Structure 1
Amino acid sequence: MPISKSRQSPFDTQNERGADRLLQIEAVYDKVPVGLCYLNRNGTFVTINDQLSRMFGITSEKAVGHSVEDILPEHAALLRNSLRAALAGAPIPDQEIQRSEETFMVSAAPVTNDLGEIAGISVAYTNISNVKRIAQKLHDTEQRTSYALESAGQWIWDLDIATMRVWRSPQYRVLLGLDPNGAETESVAWDIVHPDDKANAVQAFEDAVSGRKPHFEAVYRVPRGGGGDAWILSRGKIVEYGPDGAPLRLLATSVDISMQKHVEEQLSTTVQLRLELEQKLLEANRKLRKLSERDHLTNLPNRRKFNHLLKREFVDAAEHAQTLAVLMIDIDHFKAYNDFYGHLAGDKCLVQVGRALNKVIKQSGGSIARFGGEEFAALLSGVTTEQASATAAQMLDTVSAMQLEHSGSPTGIISVSIGMAVLEDANRTIIDGPDNILNFADSALYESKRNGRGRLSVWGDFAK
């Protein structure tokens, strides 16, 4: 929408930048989907956009330079009242008007020149017919899309790339809690950006100017008038190029996203706390599981853990045709020991014997568990019957060598009896499961007890 040289703009009488400011307004006007017009102090149309022309069937040529009474007589009173309110510095309320079957929201805002004086009003006609029928969606769908009007949390700025001077609309001062009567509307680019965020903002600008990116977009902090910083999201694009194709102007909007940032920080904190809690829960579960698989007295694996290991080792041995030895170990005459020395001494005896047996089995690469009461159970994988028997014999000798006094035993010292069953090629059809081999080892243990205790019996030797 070019400016006619014969048209007198109120900006022309203020300073040399008036025409540029009008160009800024017109450039924005043509981009928005609402009807917009600008009236000078006398109530004369200075410019209208294409949308307003279509709304009321008036052309720019017909309207520009004429009063509101001549062009929109049915709206003259409303527009004159808005103009008087603007010139008086009073607030200008939004008003609804009905035209045929359509409803329009008429919003006006004062426009100032570079001296801070009211040069006229900018008026927006927004068709809210559908919004009126869907009142709940009014807040979501009705937006102030005009760069010349104060929108919720937004302001516009225009950067002269050659001089790096930026003009900001007055709304930025209001939204940041600054003195709305502050004089400056033009300053050096990036002067309000937090020092820690300036590099990113400049990089985003250079990306847009160089053409590496089609738009300018940056997030940064700016100081608030009451202290602290506001997080700002700015978006814009190059709107003017020189004859040589060099970019001349960047037009952008800025919006306060401090609330979103606060929510993001809260969400990030919540996620971090959740991760930490999950980690603690995992640790607690690991500890709980470990405790549930550990005998509290001897600190050896308990029967539950042993059964789990036995099933795993048996399946592995069966799949790979390997051997597996199961040993059942019982402290001889332990009831008599408890009756004679007491249960505390009995507990101590269990701990000492468990340590001795564990030391031997570990040397052979096996594992042992307290199976229950005075019984222990051990596993040896990949060993022959002879190798497993040697380990069992070492267990017998180690316990005897401890010389733990036992007045209730014929030998006078603590001893153990051992029963053993070995999964090997010769008996794979007979030993067909982990419970099966455990029962065979238990039978061998009772064979040792029947034969005088303090000895090893191997299932198969006596079962044939």
Structure 2
Amino acid sequence: MPISKSRKSPFNTSNERGDDRLLQIEAVYDKVPVGLCYLNQDGAVVTINDQLSRLLGIDNDKAVGCKIEDIFPRHAPLLHMALLAARDGKIVPDGEVEVGDENFMVSAAAVVNDLGQFAGISVAYTNITELHRATRRLQETEQRTAYALENAGQWIWDLNIPANQVWRSPQYRVLLGLDPNAVEKPSVAWDILHPDDRAHTLQAFDNALSGRNPLFEAIYRIKRPDGGDTWILSRGKIVEYGPDGAPVRLLATSVDISMQKRIEEQLSSTVDQRLKLEEKLLTANRKLKNLSERDHLTNLPNRRKFSHLLRQTFGEAHEIRKSLAVIMVDIDHFKTYNDFYGHLAGDNCLVQVGRALNKVIKQTGGSLARFGGEEFAALLSVVSRDDAMKTAEQMLNSVAAMKLMHEASPSGLVSVSIGVAILNEDNSPTIAGPDDLLNLADTALYESKRNGRGRVSLWGSFK
């Protein structure tokens, strides 16, 4: 049965004083925008304000005197627990209940009579529906952010600069292979740096602190539990300053760039390998070209190289109107030398003659080549007729000075015949190309042979 408001006061004082206390409570209850009720120690409703009556859809007068189970059947367990806690002098924990589509926080506090004895609890129903919605939205946002950060291989960190303490978001542990369930506590800011990356990272941090750079940006490595390294790109900025203007807080993000680094290293390795391969190919090509342009026996340039050099030098001489001399040299009676001494001796003879001729030519800055068989050819640029003839005579004498035996030769020694042809301003119009100059030197060579060998002939000086 409902308990009348005129019943004995729950405060164990005179009825008048108890009724006064109850009226005071009711007066307060009716003025606050929160659902309130007062339950005595037996769990009966002593008073309930209009806000809570409307919320629960009950009549104030009918509710008074009723047990918790009759008015709050779904909330009864929570309210009984509050009563027990309050009776035992314990802290009464808050609880949550649903009323329709709304959420309420239920808070209770012990009420004592004038003698300090437990008399009941005052219960408040606070609408926290919007708070729930905001919390859910925040959780959804945090979850989306967490997914985005984790999928992007990123985490957020917040550095307390004066304390040198850093907080990192949970993605840090996941991405580095740490225990994801462990609580990330503030730690020393730069303790994760690889020793080799510490200096430039701290320099980047100092640049941000001093204002030399508006942002902090650094690439560095950190150790993983498996002993490997993870490459990190961190970017952030100072977001809080103290009253004195000193930086207080740095907010930054870090991203795992290990994959990019591996690709860079592979690309760099590929480029290095390619450069090395190209260098090997260039070296091989140079060797091949050198082999293709050099006589394997005398190690002198061969006819192919000489022809190329002659064309190049002839063009330059024509262009700047400078002189050019071609000297053709032939070892006298070389066939009979081979027949008499054998081909190995003949090869040795070619090598020695080539060395003697080349020694003379080098002193003039000219070029000597083995033209073929027992023939040699030389080029002298920007040379007068007298100097060209002098060089040819020196070549003739250098071979004679070796005194190589040639018993099949009339002279008994190895000798050479030489022909010289000169391109100069006087005959330039009549010599059309390099082959013409070469043929003129060859003609002069055969003039030397025709006149007895072992001599020098100049084209244009004989009929």
- Partner of residue 186, structure 2: 186
- Partner of residue 370, structure 1: 370
Judging changes above 3 Å, is the alpha-carbon distance between structure 1 residues 309 and 412 closer, same or farther for their aligned structure 2 residues?
same
| Aligned counterparts of 2:96 and 2:456: Cα–Cα separation in 1 | 115
**8 Å CA contact retained: 1:208, 1:216:** yes
- For 2:162, the aligned partner's letter is A
- Partner of residue 420, structure 1: 420
Offset at residue 148 of structure 1 (A):
9.4
| Aligned counterparts of 1:350 and 1:449: Cα–Cα separation in 2 | 18
TM-score for both structures, normalised by structure 2: 0.68
- Partner of residue 23, structure 2: none
- Partner of residue 139, structure 2: 122
Judging changes above 3 Å, is the alpha-carbon distance between structure 1 residues 65 and 423 closer, same or farther for their aligned structure 2 residues?
same
From 126, 129, 135, the equivalent of 1:66 is 129
Offset at residue 350 of structure 1 (A):
1.0
386-395 or 327-336: bigger deviation: 386-395
- For 2:305, the aligned partner's letter is K
| Aligned counterparts of 1:375 and 1:259: Cα–Cα separation in 2 | 66
**8 Å CA contact retained: 1:147, 1:156:** no
Judging changes above 3 Å, is the alpha-carbon distance between structure 1 residues 365 and 175 closer, same or farther for their aligned structure 2 residues?
closer
| Aligned counterparts of 2:185 and 2:225: Cα–Cα separation in 1 | 16
| Aligned counterparts of 2:435 and 2:198: Cα–Cα separation in 1 | 72
Offset at residue 382 of structure 1 (A):
2.2
Q: SS in structure 1 opposite 2:357? A: helix
Offset at residue 372 of structure 1 (A):
0.4
Offset at residue 145 of structure 1 (A):
4.5
| Aligned counterparts of 1:374 and 1:149: Cα–Cα separation in 2 | 82
- For 1:322, the aligned partner's letter is K
**8 Å CA contact retained: 1:297, 1:351:** yes
- For 1:224, the aligned partner's letter is R
Alignment of 1:39-438 (within 5 A): 65-66=128-129, 122-124=139-141, 145=145, 150-438=150-438
Judging changes above 3 Å, is the alpha-carbon distance between structure 1 residues 148 and 434 closer, same or farther for their aligned structure 2 residues?
closer
Q: SS in structure 2 opposite 1:425? A: coil
| Aligned counterparts of 1:269 and 1:238: Cα–Cα separation in 2 | 38
**8 Å CA contact retained: 1:159, 1:249:** yes
Judging changes above 3 Å, is the alpha-carbon distance between structure 1 residues 295 and 191 closer, same or farther for their aligned structure 2 residues?
same
- Partner of residue 111, structure 1: none
Q: Matched residue pairs, number? A: 343
Q: SS in structure 2 opposite 1:191? A: coil
| Aligned counterparts of 1:394 and 1:151: Cα–Cα separation in 2 | 85
- Partner of residue 30, structure 2: none
| Aligned counterparts of 1:67 and 1:42: Cα–Cα separation in 2 | 14
- For 1:123, the aligned partner's letter is E
Q: SS in structure 2 opposite 1:250? A: strand
- For 1:124, the aligned partner's letter is T
**8 Å CA contact retained: 2:420, 2:458:** yes
Task: Structure 2: state its 5+ residue gaps.
Answer: 1-94, 104-126
| Aligned counterparts of 1:272 and 1:42: Cα–Cα separation in 2 | 70
CA deviation string 1:101-141 (max 9, x = no partner): xxxxxxx9xxxxxxxxxxxx721399xxxxxxxxxxxxxxx
| Aligned counterparts of 1:262 and 1:428: Cα–Cα separation in 2 | 66
| Aligned counterparts of 1:150 and 1:396: Cα–Cα separation in 2 | 87
Judging changes above 3 Å, is the alpha-carbon distance between structure 1 residues 331 and 447 closer, same or farther for their aligned structure 2 residues?
same
| Aligned counterparts of 1:177 and 1:202: Cα–Cα separation in 2 | 25
CA deviation string 1:44-85 (max 9, x = no partner): 99xxxxxxxxxxxxxxxxxx94169x869xxx9xx7xxxxxx
Judging changes above 3 Å, is the alpha-carbon distance between structure 1 residues 288 and 41 closer, same or farther for their aligned structure 2 residues?
farther
Offset at residue 161 of structure 1 (A):
2.0
Task: Structure 1: state its 5+ residue gaps.
Answer: 1-39, 46-63, 80-107, 109-120, 127-143
Q: SS in structure 1 opposite 2:411? A: coil
TM-score for both structures, normalised by structure 1: 0.68
Judging changes above 3 Å, is the alpha-carbon distance between structure 1 residues 319 and 149 closer, same or farther for their aligned structure 2 residues?
closer
**8 Å CA contact retained: 1:122, 1:148:** no
| Aligned counterparts of 2:324 and 2:289: Cα–Cα separation in 1 | 26
Q: SS in structure 1 opposite 2:387? A: helix
CA deviation string 1:279-304 (max 9, x = no partner): 22222222221121110011111111
- For 2:195, the aligned partner's letter is P
CA deviation string 1:151-208 (max 9, x = no partner): 4422111112232211111221222112233344211211222222222222222222
Offset at residue 147 of structure 1 (A):
9.1
Q: SS in structure 2 opposite 1:377? A: strand
Q: SS in structure 1 opposite 2:321? A: coil
**8 Å CA contact retained: 1:204, 1:217:** yes
CA deviation string 1:375-421 (max 9, x = no partner): 11111222222221122122222222322222332222221111111
